[in-house]
């Protein structure tokens, strides 16, 4: 288990060096491949390359009705009433309270690892050059922290949600679903 400081450090140090050419599909699952490079923490001149997949499930529309089922643990008795009044007021103003929920599946069993004896700079350039040659449109290259590498994958996933949200919302609106 990682400490909050480990997680914060991994978030700050993670860089997406190459994004996939596409975004999360609105009406279907999307599979992204990744290569995550990271320096080994206890050895110099050694870099781990992890290769795997992340699958984004199709976005789901959440409508205001589920707000009524939100647990308000730790709030006083009047909190439920205030939440319902807020939802009703926003609806009366014509606000669309639906939002999109994203889900990801990370298939850890499909992650392969390789240790390369070279500098992080040389490995980074070699990996990026390989992608320029092969042109894989669904491949992301991520540089992260070795012992908290899962945090780097989560950061990449979150960034893909942010980059895809407007497109997905537009697609739903175009079909009259939002």
Q: Which residue has the higher pLDDT, 136 or 72?
A: 136
d(CA 102, CA 165): 9
pLDDT tens by residue, 3-14: 889 889 999 999
pLDDT tens by residue, 18-29: 999 988 888 988
The per-residue pLDDT for 52 is 92
Q: Which residues contact 96 (CB under 8 A, 6 or more apart)?
A: 178
pLDDT tens by residue, 44-83: 899 999 999 888 888 887 666 655 566 666 666 777 777 6
**CA torsion sign, 44 to 117 to 19 to 105?**
negative
Number of Cβ atoms within 10 Å of the Cβ of 169: 19
- Does the pTM of the predicted model rise above 0.85? no
pLDDT tens by residue, 161-175: 888 988 988 898 888
């Amino acid at each position: 288990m990682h400490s909050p400081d480990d997680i914060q450090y991994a978030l700050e140090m993670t860089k997406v060096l190459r994004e996939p050419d596409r975004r999360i599909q609105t009406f279907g699952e999307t599979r992204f491949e990744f290569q995550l490079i990271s320096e080994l923490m206890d050895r110099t001149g050694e870099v781990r390359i992890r290769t795997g997949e992340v699958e984004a499930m199709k976005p789901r529309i959440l409508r205001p009705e589920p707000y009524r089922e939100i647990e308000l643990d730790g709030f006083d008795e009047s909190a439920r009433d205030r939440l319902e009044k807020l939802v009703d007021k926003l609806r009366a103003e014509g606000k669309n309270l639906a939002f999109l929920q994203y889900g990801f599946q990370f298939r850890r069993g499909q992650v392969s690892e390789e240790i390369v004896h070279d500098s992080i700079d040389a490995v980074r350039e070699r990996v990026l050059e390989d992608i320029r040659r092969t042109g894989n449109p669904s491949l992301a290259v991520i540089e992260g922290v070795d012992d908290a590498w899962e945090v780097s994958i989560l950061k990449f996933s979150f960034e893909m949600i942010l980059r895809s949200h407007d497109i997905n919302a537009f697609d739903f609106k175009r079909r009259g679903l939002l």
